[in-house]
């Protein structure tokens, strides 16, 4: 049975093909290409000069550093939450299970406003943290906190299905053979969960790099200190410096595309590894 | 015969550590989600009502707030149907046919997800802004796109582009096309088959994609912020209106607007849960 030949019986091939590519081109491809064409109007020296100013370098450092910290925090938090949701039953579990997606559903500006107010010096959290000498709002710590909030669901949602599929008798066998719970976790569970953790990490990292709404409120936006890359792009644009905005945007776009590519390669690699496993 | 999975499950649970480990982990997870998700939700409504019910209502019925609501509804009312049409066409195409460029199309659909919202706004400024490609032509014909409503709508359509297609594709792929072929053999037209056979089969997938698309369309901030120009009551959507009030130190007003958007998020989560429950009734 050859699938393609069989499915050509169905109508709408030309219409859906034509409409899909037309709409994709109109909404996504043509607008995005304007970014690349605008960059080509710059000479290499001009481009390099714009993207390596001290202010831009400070913004890359903050964006990458805070996104990395947030994505790593999300790996730990995500694993914990996924584990508790999959393995335990307790009152309120269903509510928590639904709430995990809140950062996806909540408009980023609302997240930004709320976290800033909670973590400011007089806020519900800020007053206690500041008494301990930890300033969060208007510092790079605040940026990382906002990005952690935004990325929370990624690792939970990539790890959860894998954890549900793991054969419990493997864990049982390990335990019967005398492995401690910690050894079971480290030698049996972690290797199985590793690909999911890695792709959750990468997704959270990529999302954090481009994030704007939840960060602008809590960061305080001081150039050289708490200015993230997306904000620098907006600043350049407000000064009608289109070339500057475009060059920095290209650097950022390159970073997020590489991450996306990494996720896809990773996915294929882990898929192949799973298929290669005997009995799987 | 292997032992029943029920027995295995129970063993697994007891393997998952002694009671103090179990309750320790549950406590840590609840504390974490409480600090990051539940307290912020409560905080939004507490801050919104800190000056009382009347201040809350007057913040939401202020003419600029009402204008912001209208603009938010308008951009969602344009973005969602267009992206729904694309989602239906693209998922039908990818799930039912083999053709050259199929995997390229699948990759490109996800593109707007990997573009920062700020860059999504920037590209439309580069196209339609005063120094943009079409800028001089638009200026001659007195058409405003950037710092006007069309720019906001375009940016919203761009950032919500993948949602319906993304959610619908797996549903479309999971459903075979046997019923469609039967309908066609019995003489139904292509459109009739699509409306009466295909759409009912994938309706939960459609609803799922539409609510996610709608939530993002109404809540989008970064992309819209770049193209809006923040002309109060004219080019401000609800999230932008909340930002303006916050920057003017009207905290109660900002959170009144934010509470509306939070309600939208809660409704979205509830509908999402309902759809998941309906499509997997186990």
Task: Report percent pLDDT > 90 for chain B.
Answer: 67
- Mean local confidence (pLDDT), A77-94: 92
Same-domain status, A26 and A86: no
B201 and B252, same domain (yes or no): yes
The SS3 assignment for B219 reads: helix
- Cα gap A11→B187, rounded to integer Å: 13
* B8 with A85: Cβ contact below 8 A: no
Q: Which domain holds residue B108?
A: 52-279
| Residue B15: pLDDT over 70 | no
pLDDT tens figures, B234-277: 899 999 999 999 999 999 999 999 999 999 999 999 999 999 88
Residue A37 and residue A58 in one domain: no
Helices B63-96 and B203-219: angle between axes, nearest 10 degrees: 140
Length, in residues, of chain B: 282
Q: What angle do CA A119, A121, A126 make, to 5 degrees?
A: 40
Alpha carbon distance B74, B79 (integer Å): 9
| Model confidence pLDDT, tens digit, residues B158-194 | 999 999 999 999 999 888 888 888 898 888 888 888 8
Stated length of chain A: 280
CA distances from B184 to B178, B181, B191 (A): 10, 5, 10
CA distance to A97, A210, A212, per residue, from B222 (Å): 28, 10, 6
Partner-chain contact B105 A246, CB within 8 Å: no
Print the domain residue range for A33: 1-41
Residue B150 shares a structural domain with residue B25: no
B90: nearest Cα among B76, B78, B107: B107
Mark whether A134 and A195 lie in a shared domain. Answer: yes
Contact list in A for residue B111 (CB cut-off 8 A) is 28, 32
User: What percent of chain A has pLDDT above 90?
Assistant: 60
B67 and B41 share one domain = no
% chain B with pLDDT above 70? 93
pLDDT, one tens digit per residue, over B73-129 is: 999 999 999 999 999 999 999 998 999 999 899 989 988 988 999 999 999 999 998
Count: domains in chain B: 2
In CATH, what number is assigned to the domain containing residue B176? 1.10.3720.10
Q: Are residues A211 and A263 in the same domain?
A: yes
Q: How many domains does chain A have?
A: 2
Q: Return the CA Rg of chain B.
A: 24
Are residues B42 and B61 both part of a single domain? no
- Residue A244 phi, psi dihedral angles, 5° rounding: -60, -45
Counted across chains A and B, CB pairs separated by less than 8 A come out at 275
Asked if residue B146 and residue B77 are part of one domain, the reply reads: yes
> CB B193 to CB A11 under 8 A?
yes
Residues of A in contact with B127 (CB under 8 A): 30-31, 34
Residue from B44, B80, B89 to probe the interface with A (highest A Cβ count within 10 Å)? B89
Q: Say yes or no: B163 and B148 in one domain.
A: yes
Instruction: Name the least confident of A8-12, A117-121, A262-266, B49-53.
Output: A8-12
Measured CA to CA, the distance from residue B260 to residue B198 in angstroms comes to 35
Q: Report DSSP state, residue A166.
A: S
CATH number at residue A137: 1.10.3720.10
Give the number of other Cβ atoms within 10 Å of residue A51's Cβ.
Answer: 17
Reported ipTM? 0.89
Give CA–CA dist B109/B122, Å, rounded.
Answer: 19
- Closest residue by Cα to residue A110 from A229, A205, A218, A226: A218
Task: Considering only the beta carbons, identify the residue of B114, B158, B254 that sits closest to A27.
Answer: B158
Q: Are residues A18 and A60 in the same domain?
A: no
Inter-chain residue contact A16 with B93, CB threshold 8 Å? yes
Q: What is the CA radius of gyration of chain A?
A: 23
Q: Count Cβ atoms below 10 Å from residue B273 Cβ, excluding itself.
A: 14
């Amino acid at each position: 049975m050859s699938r393609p030949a069989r499915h050509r019986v169905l109508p709408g091939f030309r219409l859906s093909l034509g409409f899909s590519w037309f709409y994709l081109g109109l909404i996504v491809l043509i607008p995005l290409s304007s970014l690349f064409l605008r960059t080509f109007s710059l000479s290499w020296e001009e481009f390099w000069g714009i993207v390596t100013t001290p202010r831009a370098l400070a913004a890359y450092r903050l964006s990458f550093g805070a996104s990395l910290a947030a994505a790593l925090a999300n790996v730990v938090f995500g694993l914990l939450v996924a584990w508790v949701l999959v393995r335990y039953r307790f009152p309120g579990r269903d509510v928590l299970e639904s709430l995990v997606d809140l950062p996806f559903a909540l408009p980023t500006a609302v997240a930004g406003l709320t976290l800033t107010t909670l973590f400011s010096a007089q806020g519900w959290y800020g007053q206690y943290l500041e008494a301990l000498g930890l300033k969060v709002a208007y510092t790079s710590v605040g940026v990382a906190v906002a990005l952690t909030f935004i990325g929370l669901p990624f690792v939970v949602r990539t790890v959860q299905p894998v954890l549900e599929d793991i054969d419990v008798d493997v864990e049982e066998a390990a335990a019967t053979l005398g492995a401690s719970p910690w050894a079971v976790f480290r030698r049996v569970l972690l290797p199985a969960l590793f690909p999911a953790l890695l792709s959750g990490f990468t997704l959270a990292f990529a999302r954090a790099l481009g994030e704007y709404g939840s960060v602008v409120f809590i960061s305080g936006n001081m150039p050289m200190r708490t200015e993230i890359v997306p904000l620098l792009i907006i600043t350049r644009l407000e000064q009608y410096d289109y070339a500057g905005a475009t060059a920095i945007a290209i650097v950022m776009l390159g970073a997020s595309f590489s991450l996306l590519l990494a996720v896809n390669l990773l996915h294929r690699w882990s898929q192949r590894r799973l298929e290669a496993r005997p009995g799987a | 015969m292997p032992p029943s999975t029920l027995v295995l499950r129970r063993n697994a649970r007891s393997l998952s550590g002694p009671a103090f480990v179990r309750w320790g982990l549950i406590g840590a997870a609840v504390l974490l989600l409480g600090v990051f998700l539940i307290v912020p939700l409560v905080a939004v409504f507490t801050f919104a009502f800190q000056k009382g019910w009347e201040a809350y209502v007057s913040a939401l019925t202020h003419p600029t707030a009402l204008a912001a609501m209208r603009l938010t509804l308008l951009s969602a009312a344009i973005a969602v149907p267009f992206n729904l049409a694309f989602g239906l066409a693209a998922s039908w195409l990818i799930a039912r046919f083999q053709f050259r460029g199929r995997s390229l199309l699948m990759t490109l659909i996800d593109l707007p997800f990997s573009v920062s919202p700020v860059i999504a706004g920037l590209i439309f400024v580069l196209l339609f802004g005063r120094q943009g490609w079409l800028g001089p032509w638009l200026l001659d014909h007195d058409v405003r796109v950037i710092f006007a409503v069309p720019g906001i709508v375009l940016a919203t359509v761009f950032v919500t582009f993948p949602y319906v297609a993304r959610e619908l594709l797996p549903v479309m792929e999971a459903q075979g096309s046997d019923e469609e072929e039967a309908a066609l053999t019995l003489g139904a037209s292509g459109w009739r088959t699509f409306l009466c056979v295909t759409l009912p089969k994938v309706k939960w997938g459609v609803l799922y994609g539409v609510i996610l698309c709608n939530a993002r369309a109404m809540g989008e901030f970064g992309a819209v912020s770049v193209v809006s120009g923040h002309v109060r009551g004219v080019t401000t959507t609800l999230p932008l209106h909340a930002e303006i009030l916050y920057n003017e130190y009207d905290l109660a007003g900002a959170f009144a607007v934010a509470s509306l958007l939070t309600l939208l998020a809660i409704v979205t989560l509830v509908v999402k849960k309902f759809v998941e429950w309906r499509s997997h009734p186990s």
